[in-house]
Structure 1
Amino acid sequence: MIALALPAAANEGGFVPPTLEDMHLPAIIPWGAPEGFGKQMLLILLSVLLISWFFVAAARRGQMVPGKLQFLGEMSYNFVRNSVGKDIIGERDFRPYVPLLFALFFFILVNNFYGSIPLIQLPTTSHVGTAYALAGIVYVTWIVLGLKKHGIGYFKLAVVPSGVPKAILPLVVVIEIISTFLVRPVTHSLRLFATMLAGHLIIMLAAAGSEFLLTQDQWLLKPLGLLTLAGGVGMYLFEVLIQVLQAYVFTLLTAIYIQGSLAEEH
């Protein structure tokens, strides 16, 4: 009966599932580009303002006994500084790279959280251009750091692991070139983009499906609508966790890549 009821409801109500196009709203200021200045760009600029305002306000009145805002700011900073920068890069070298790691983590975190805020509901990192730009910055950074530390010999250090038998060394070098300089930046960006896109589409689909099923006349569809709604709420909470984890993973991998550029051998 359920299998028969769902097609009938779809034919009568014309259920249309959400698509990728529903995430791309019309440009606010069309300036000739394919998308112009749209909601995504506006949210990115807003995230920079929000992050700047929060940490400036948290550090404005430094006290020996911190208030709630100062405590939250210091705790957030120390998390990136110690748990990512110091633990991964090492106590001797980590300090110059804390600002980059700090900026990446909170920029990605806020832009991921947009997907869970009512009325906004758009994680800007679900657009591949944002993920490519962030991964591109990291890609250039660790290559420049490697060249600065080791000179042109960095490329040898990066693709020639120590202790590899000479018989298989040519094969290993080819694999290392592909994985380090081609695959690494792609996976670094697509991991963030694909996760945010998939999670947001699942929530959109659950919301649209719940609304459709709950508004149908067939009594059998309404319980299915409640189950879909409950599943959507669960996915919403799970997506919030994923948003935090993806910001952490992206920043953690950045620290690992920087540490690899500074290391004496691989």
Structure 2
Amino acid sequence: MAFKGEFYAPDLYKEFFPGFGTDGDGNWFVDTEHMFLAEFAGGAFALDRLMIVRLLMVAIMVIFFAWAMRKPKLVPSGVQNFAENVIDFVRIHIAEDSLGKKDGRRFLPLIAGIFFAVFITNISTIIPGLNVSANARIGFPLVLALIAWGAFIYAGSKKYGFFKYLKAETVVPGIPSWMHVLVIPIEFFSTFILRPFTLTVRLMANLLAGHIILVLMFSATNFFFWQLNGWSAVSIASLFGAIAFAFFEILVSVLQAYIFALLTAVYIQLALNAAEH
């Protein structure tokens, strides 16, 4: 049976930079055709597709927890029970395991907020109609990393005072004086620059790679089915492979949320104990 069709390669450029375009000379310009509210207030509130996805997924998260806790019961059931279980997972296995009970409960709202924000914006990559993670572009991961960065600096400064905390993080005791010229910049860079950078890149790169692989696998299914009729069996195999990888992306979404929240808790713990290491 012969099929006729035309294959269009996925346009990843407009997928990740939908608000911008280039003219024939390679000059950048604002592509208002791919933005929402571009004409409102001179474009001050213009939103591209990825920003819409971010706002939508965060709104879903807020609505879910507001709905789950709208009438809390002493013995939870249903949606409230599920919400409390996932919060308890973050509290016990991330916050308290890293910070202890007292500081774990103290920083739980921040750590739980980061965990659920990362997860909900990751999971959009497999939702039909959205098909992209809001974390596949650097903006949101960078904001979350800066929040984590501010949190551990606040924790250390609150306990020791800013300058004493800065000294505890950068000055290594017991080494020859001349080595401080080398060690202090290295410690400063690794603590205050490298930590937020690695948090940002780890999250963005994993979700970007996953999205590109999903696009390529489903595009392969399209290509083998419509263009190479003799390769229909390959198209079925690539389809099942894409579906399997979509389930793998669910695992990645949870894992990346866990790692981001856990590293945030660990950095706070290191800041609270900066004078001891």
Q: Distance in 2 between matches of 1:165 and 1:174?
A: 15
Give 1:68's aligned amino acid. Answer: G
* 1:201 maps onto 2:212 in alignment: yes
* 1:158 maps onto 2:151 in alignment: no
Give 2:257's aligned amino acid. Answer: A
Could you tell me which residue of structure 1 aligns to residue 15 of structure 2?
A: 22
Normalised to the residue count of structure 2, the TM-score between the two structures is 0.83
* 1:62 maps onto 2:55 in alignment: no
Per-residue CA deviations over 1:140-175 (Å, capped at 9, x if unaligned) read 221122222111111111123455566755433332
Per-residue CA deviations over 1:84-112 (Å, capped at 9, x if unaligned) read 11110122322221111111111111111
Could you tell me which residue of structure 1 aligns to residue 131 of structure 2?
A: 121
* 1:231 maps onto 2:224 in alignment: no
Question: How many pairs are equivalent?
Answer: 254
Q: State the shift of 1:46 in Å.
A: 2.3
* 1:142 maps onto 2:152 in alignment: yes
Q: Indicate the SS of the match to 2:232.
A: helix
- Structure 2: state its 5+ residue gaps: 19-33
Q: Kindly, what percent of the aligned residue pairs are identical?
A: 33
Q: State the shift of 1:204 in Å.
A: 0.5
Conservation of the 8 A alpha-carbon contact between 1:30 and 1:36 = yes
Q: Distance in 2 between matches of 1:16 and 1:71?
A: 45
Q: Indicate the SS of the match to 2:75.
A: coil
Aligned Cα root-mean-square deviation (Å): 2.3
Give 1:188's aligned amino acid. Answer: L
* 1:84 maps onto 2:84 in alignment: no
Could you tell me which residue of structure 1 aligns to residue 27 of structure 2?
A: none
Q: Distance in 1 between matches of 2:44 and 2:220?
A: 30
Residues 43 and 17 of structure 1: CA distance in aligned 2, closer, same or farther (over 3 Å): closer
Bigger mean CA offset, 159-168 vs 147-156: 159-168
Residues 33 and 89 of structure 1: CA distance in aligned 2, closer, same or farther (over 3 Å): farther
* 1:171 maps onto 2:158 in alignment: no
Residues 95 and 34 of structure 1: CA distance in aligned 2, closer, same or farther (over 3 Å): same
- Structure 1: state its 5+ residue gaps: 1-11
Give 1:210's aligned amino acid. Answer: T
Bigger mean CA offset, 84-93 vs 192-201: 84-93
Normalised to the residue count of structure 1, the TM-score between the two structures is 0.86
Give 2:155's aligned amino acid. Answer: L
Q: Distance in 2 between matches of 1:211 and 1:240?
A: 23
Q: Distance in 2 between matches of 1:93 and 1:217?
A: 60
* 1:183 maps onto 2:194 in alignment: yes
Residues 209 and 29 of structure 1: CA distance in aligned 2, closer, same or farther (over 3 Å): same
Bigger mean CA offset, 115-124 vs 166-175: 166-175
Give 1:199's aligned amino acid. Answer: G
Give 1:16's aligned amino acid. Answer: A
Q: Indicate the SS of the match to 2:102.
A: coil
Conservation of the 8 A alpha-carbon contact between 1:80 and 1:102 = yes
Q: Indicate the SS of the match to 2:103.
A: coil
Give 2:157's aligned amino acid. Answer: L
* 1:49 maps onto 2:59 in alignment: yes
Conservation of the 8 A alpha-carbon contact between 1:17 and 1:209 = no
Residues 100 and 60 of structure 1: CA distance in aligned 2, closer, same or farther (over 3 Å): same
Q: State the shift of 1:20 in Å.
A: 3.5
Q: State the shift of 1:36 in Å.
A: 3.0
Q: Distance in 1 between matches of 2:168 and 2:182?
A: 16
Conservation of the 8 A alpha-carbon contact between 1:86 and 1:94 = yes
Residues 106 and 149 of structure 1: CA distance in aligned 2, closer, same or farther (over 3 Å): same
